[in-house]
């Protein structure tokens, strides 16, 4: 009996992968609703109105990013497709990320219309299904894989871990980054066991804010700001430019952005956390050491008639 269940689960996973591949082969504009564009095989920097990547590729011309096309080689998992997660998914889709894996078990409600992204006609659909439909129309070049379940349950946890470990751009390879956009600590603890780097987009358990008959207040502006900060750091991390913030807070009432570096706890109770710390140390140790450039001493000339000093 146990073997039969295991075989069925394996077959379900195979069918899910085949379905995802078939969906990703479809060309928007030829079916439901139309209005989409055909896929673009190679990003171009040509400055024309018909090029959706021209303003992104301009980052290369400005010397900010050395190889923007590399964005297509990454797979990112987003856990929680709510107020922050859905906007995060849209931003990464517009940036041309290679693949997005979306995890959520909730449905779109009219009460969600205070947020960005979702639309009234999508009420009743699962959030991942509604998100995939919208995102695929925005950018058909991105591959999507969606899972409508609760990752914290025993029956779903192993499948979640399997997709994080094997659902990369190339099947069998891990995803490059996991973004935690959930609103409860149970889900965060589950996500913390993942192997790839993890980015947490919130630090409040929404359960502490909810009361019977009262919903947690939220503004689309706040969620948009948080999602923007999150994606900005994701792009800096993946494309290797700028400085990635280890911790960046946002106090909306005072427009205050505290930042700090948080060191991992070597005595953490979580075995996976300690394991990842050791792996990270080895990874950093293997990186080539950068040579420290010595600055030339500044030459200060004598005072001129206007009592100013000129530097050579």
Query: In this structure, what DSSP letter does residue 217 have?
Result: P
Residue 272: which residues within 8 A CB-CB, separation 6 or more?
192, 193
Tokens of 202: 């919130």
DSSP string, 102-153: EE---B--GGGGGSSS--GGGTTSBHHHHHHHHHHHH-TTSEEEEE-S-TTS
Cβ atoms 270, 192 nearer than 8 A: yes
**Nearest CA-CA partner of 59 in 236, 248, 275:** 236
DSSP string, 65-89: -S-GGGGGG-EEEEE--STTHHHHH
* CA atoms of 278 and 19, how far apart (whole Å): 37
HSE toward the beta carbon, residue 266, CA cutoff 13 A: 2
Residue 284: which residues within 8 A CB-CB, separation 6 or more?
none
* CA atoms of 80 and 112, how far apart (whole Å): 14
Q: Which residues pair with 299 in a beta bridge?
A: none
Which residue in 95, 181, 194, 215 is the catalytic one? 215
CA 84 to chain centre: 10
Reported as type and span, the H/E element at residue 100 is strand 99-103
| Catalytic status, residue 215 | yes
Strand, helix or coil for residue 30: coil
- Catalytic positions: 215
């Amino acid at each position: 009996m146990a073997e039969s269940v295991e075989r069925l689960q394996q077959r379900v996973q195979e069918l899910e992968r085949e379905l995802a591949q078939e969906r990703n082969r479809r060309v928007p504009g030829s079916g439901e609703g139309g209005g989409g564009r055909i896929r673009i095989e190679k990003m171009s920097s040509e400055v024309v109105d018909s090029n959706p990547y021209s303003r992104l590729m301009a980052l290369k011309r400005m010397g900010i990013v050395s190889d923007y096309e590399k964005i297509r080689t990454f797979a990112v998992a987003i856990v929680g497709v709510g107020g922050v997660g859905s906007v995060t998914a849209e931003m990464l889709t517009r940036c041309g990320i290679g693949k997005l894996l979306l995890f959520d078990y909730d449905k779109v409600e009219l009460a969600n219309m205070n947020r960005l992204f979702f639309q009234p006609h999508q009420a009743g659909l699962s959030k991942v299904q509604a998100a995939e439909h919208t995102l695929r129309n925005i950018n058909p070049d991105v591959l999507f894989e969606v899972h409508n379940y609760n990752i914290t349950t025993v029956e779903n946890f192993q499948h979640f871990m399997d997709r994080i470990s094997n659902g990369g751009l190339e099947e069998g390879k891990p995803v490059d980054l996991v973004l935690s956009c959930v609103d409860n600590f149970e889900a965060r603890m589950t996500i913390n066991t993942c192997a790839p780097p993890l980015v947490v987009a919130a630090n409040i358990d929404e359960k502490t804010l909810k009361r019977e008959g009262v919903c947690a207040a939220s503004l689309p502006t706040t969620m948009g700001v948080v999602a923007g900060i999150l994606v900005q750091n994701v792009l800096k991390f993946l494309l290797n430019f700028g400085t990635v913030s280890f911790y960046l807070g946002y106090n909306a009432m005072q427009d205050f952005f505290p930042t700090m570096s948080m060191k991992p706890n070597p005595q953490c109770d979580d075995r996976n956390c300690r394991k990842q710390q050791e792996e990270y140390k080895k990874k950093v140790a293997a990186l080539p050491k950068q040579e420290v450039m010595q600055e030339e001493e500044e030459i200060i000339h004598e005072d001129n008639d206007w009592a100013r000093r000129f530097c050579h």
